Amino acid sequence: MKTSLRQLLIAVFTASVVALSGPTAAVANENLPPAPAQETETITAATAPMVAAIRLPLSEASTPEAEGQAPGLSRLVRISPDVVKPGEDIIFEWETAGDAPIAEIQVHLVNDSNSREPFFTIYPGGEATFRVTPDQLSPGDHILTQVVVVGQDGTETSYSRSGSVSSTKPPTLTPPPPLSDLSQLDFRVLYWTAAVDPVVIEDRPGSAEDAFVIPSSPHVDYMFREEGESEEEVLAPGRYPRQGDKTHYFRAQTHSGYLPGGPRTGWDHRFSDAHPPYEVTPLPVTFVDFFDNGRGIYIIPTTPGVEYWVGGSVKTSGVHSAQGSVTVTAKPMSDYVITNGATFTWTKTFTANELVPTPPTFLDKDGTAEDTYTIPATPNVEYLVNGSVRSAGTYPTAGTVTVTGLITVIARAKQGYSLAEGTTATWQKTFSATSAEYVPPAKSPFTDVSTKQQFYREMAWLSNQGISTGWDNGNGTRSYKPLAPINRDAMAAFLYRAEHV
């Protein structure tokens, strides 16, 4: 009895990855969630070259005939996503063509390093679900190169990526037609990385305090065995005392679906009863300046074998308050020495931010028309004039001064700053609306006018105001000639200067 031309089977690849050992170029991320919702990194494959094929079974075949078409396929497609993550499936769907019964289908792949994948075979009637491991499919892109259909009589029909078809058929069989574009069968296998923290060895003089510390690394198990033993045991995170004088072997093994991230996945150590002091490089101290009257904080890190001292006392790791200047010094503990050239002292002077504002200036001339006040530019200080903020510059009093002629200027510090204690921050000025009484100089501006002469104050005022400058004596002095008659043109000049000079 013949089978139908369409035989539909689904081969499911469940991407569940077992641990890899050895170094990897993947970047570690210890905070990576177990199953992220989207692809966040690209991982390159690094597997050794191997002959590769994925063998996909078909159901029970029909009885062969003497003549007809060689075993083949009329359709082969991948209906699963292009990118497969741990826990997801790779699904193929196909239909057979020809009269010859088919024993298996081989899908040949290479990875993105152009290395062929190892192969596995699923026989008719066997389980059609494949568990993908690093020994079977490496992470990265997987490119289809050839599909081979094997008949139960050993006849093979090969479909190449370029579209050609060849068959090891007997003369009585005709080759099947070529398949459509096979590049759509390509896919990518994605694995995540798990940060592999190193095992910490505490080898102190003697043996009483010797220990090793197994870190807590998500998605990583730490295996342990002693020299001479073959069995490994998984150790939970924690601190363990040394296990005798034999060499201790440690190996990090990532969970299924994760590749190891880090330069090493294996360590070994033989504890010694005597050794020179350990070299240690202190981690740096962190300072945070509040910019508030010299206040701030400093953060002491945790460095094994190091104590941090401030002002003659040891400071615990964590946050500490400070004001003014603080110096932190790292000192080695017993059995430790500071690495040569390493920084071991840090000093910080926190910003005081106590400001002294520059005082404003006032110019009170005769009358009010030319009265002005000047606001200085003091960093981080703002000035208020009669309650309103004024930027640096010179301003007329018109529109600012009240009818009483009073002006008030107040300086205040901007946010995050403060004025120095005891500093002057308020100034007041009462501008006069009338001219001040003129006081003549003690020395006359004119050589022929005595300070005791009648009308001396008035003549000196004319000179002071630039109304009458007198005559140049040619030796740097001037004379007024107070009794000389005045012409009408000179009188006009006097009047003009009195109004405009």
Assigned domain for 361 exists? yes
Fill in the amino acid letter for 314. V
Query: Cα separation of 100 and 8, whole Å?
Result: 17
Taking alpha carbons only, the member of 488, 437, 441 closest to residue 463 is 441
Radius of gyration of the chain measured on its C-alpha atoms: 48
Hey, what are 99's tokens? 């009269």
- The b/e string for 200-225 (b: 16+ C-beta within 10 A; e otherwise) is ebbbbeeeeebbbbbbebbbbbbbbb
Which residue has tokens 């102190």? 204
Taking alpha carbons only, the member of 44, 84, 88 closest to residue 259 is 44
pLDDT at residue number 436: 64
pLDDT at residue number 301: 94
pLDDT at residue number 416: 63
The residues of the chain scoring below 70 in pLDDT are 1-67, 86-87, 98-99, 112-113, 115-136, 169, 171-172, 205-206, 273-276, 366-367, 398-405, 416, 434-436, 501
Structural domain count of the chain: 5
Residues 266 and 384 both lie in one domain: no
pLDDT digits (tens, 9 = 90+) for 321-378: 998 889 999 999 987 899 999 999 999 988 777 788 899 998 877 667 778 899 999 8
Residues 339 and 231 both lie in one domain: no
Fill in the amino acid letter for 33. P
pTM: 0.34
C-alpha torsion sign, points 173, 178, 183, 186: negative
Query: Cα separation of 95 and 74, whole Å?
Result: 6
**Residue 110 phi/psi, 5° resolution?**
-125, 155
Examine the fold and report which residue of 275, 306, 339 is the final residue of a domain before the chain moves on.
275
Assigned domain for 335 exists? yes
Do the Cβ atoms of 77 and 91 come closer than 8 Å?
Answer: no
Terminal CA-to-CA distance of the chain, rounded, Å? Answer: 129
Do the Cβ atoms of 282 and 342 come closer than 8 Å?
Answer: yes
With 0-12 CB in 10 A as exposed, 13-18 as middle and 19+ as buried, what is 157? buried
Do the Cβ atoms of 473 and 466 come closer than 8 Å?
Answer: no
Assigned domain for 224 exists? yes
Taking alpha carbons only, the member of 297, 351, 354, 303 closest to residue 331 is 303
292 lies in which domain range?
Answer: 281-349
Examine the fold and report which residue of 298, 315, 349 is the final residue of a domain before the chain moves on.
349
Hey, what are 136's tokens? 């079977």
Fill in the amino acid letter for 61. A
Assigned domain for 306 exists? yes
